[in-house]
Structure 1
Amino acid sequence: MAAKTKAQDIIDNNAVAVFSKSWCPYCKASKALLSEMGAKAYIIELDQVDDGAAIQDALQEITNQRSVPNIFIDKKHIGGNSDLQAKRSELKSLLQSAHAI
């Protein structure tokens, strides 16, 4: 339950939240795109925090997605890297409306 609360707090209190793993190439691609867009993203590397597995379980409950990256913009679930890349054309306006750039 604590992990679910922590995950929800991260989603609620950050314009852009990325649940990632440091070694994941899809996570790296998503973080690179957000960085390229100038997004101020809160990134948590689930493989580098003690409760990472529990947070990943909680995200599955919240979003029905277990894989990383698990991306939220303005508290809305975007999905993973392929979902983010597919939104490339509208990403700047999404980030602006979330006050993330």
Structure 2
Amino acid sequence: MSAAKQKAQQIIDDNAVVVFSKSYCPYCRATKSLLNEKHAKYFLLELDEVDDGAAIQDALEEITGQRSVPNIFIGHKHIGGNSDLQSKKGQLDGLLQSAGAV
């Protein structure tokens, strides 16, 4: 397993909610905004601000089949991107509570 894949998996395993993001991405901003609105505690990794961001993005594609950001995990489960998160708005409180993120 590559170092980047190991790092990505470790972050997913260690945190109830994880958002792999890029600081300039409008969809990422919408995701962070929604999670902040819900007062969710989440781990944020801005892939464009870390040295191994490209490698981690490649690793996430291997893990999830999704290359785009945001790449969101709640309760160690892959949720998908911003549109997937927005479509779960009604269930989001429950998902965050069961993950222990509020």
One-letter code aligned to 1:37 = K
After the TM superposition, which residues 1-101 of structure 1 pair with which residues of structure 2 at under 5 Å, given as runs?
Answer: 1-101=2-102
CA distance in structure 2 between the aligned counterparts of 1:61 and 1:11, rounded to whole angstroms: 14
For structure 2, the residue ranges without an aligned partner over 5 or more in a row are none
Supply the AA of the counterpart residue of 2:56.
Answer: I
Distance 1:39 1:3 in 2: 26
Residue aligned with 2:9, SS? helix
Pairwise CA distance, 1:32: 0.3
Identity within the alignment, %: 71
Runs (5+) with no aligned partner, structure 1: none
- Corresponding residue SS for 1:19: strand
RMSD across aligned C-alpha pairs, in angstroms?
0.3
Residue-by-residue CA offset, 1:43-80 (whole Å, 9 max, x unaligned): 00000000000000000000000000000000000000
TM-score (norm 2): 0.99
Task: Give the whole-Å Cα distance in 1 for the aligned partners of 2:13 and 2:39.
Answer: 20
Normalising by the residue count of structure 1, what TM-score does the alignment of the two structures yield?
1.00
| CA positional deviation for 1:13 | 0.3
Aligned residues: 101
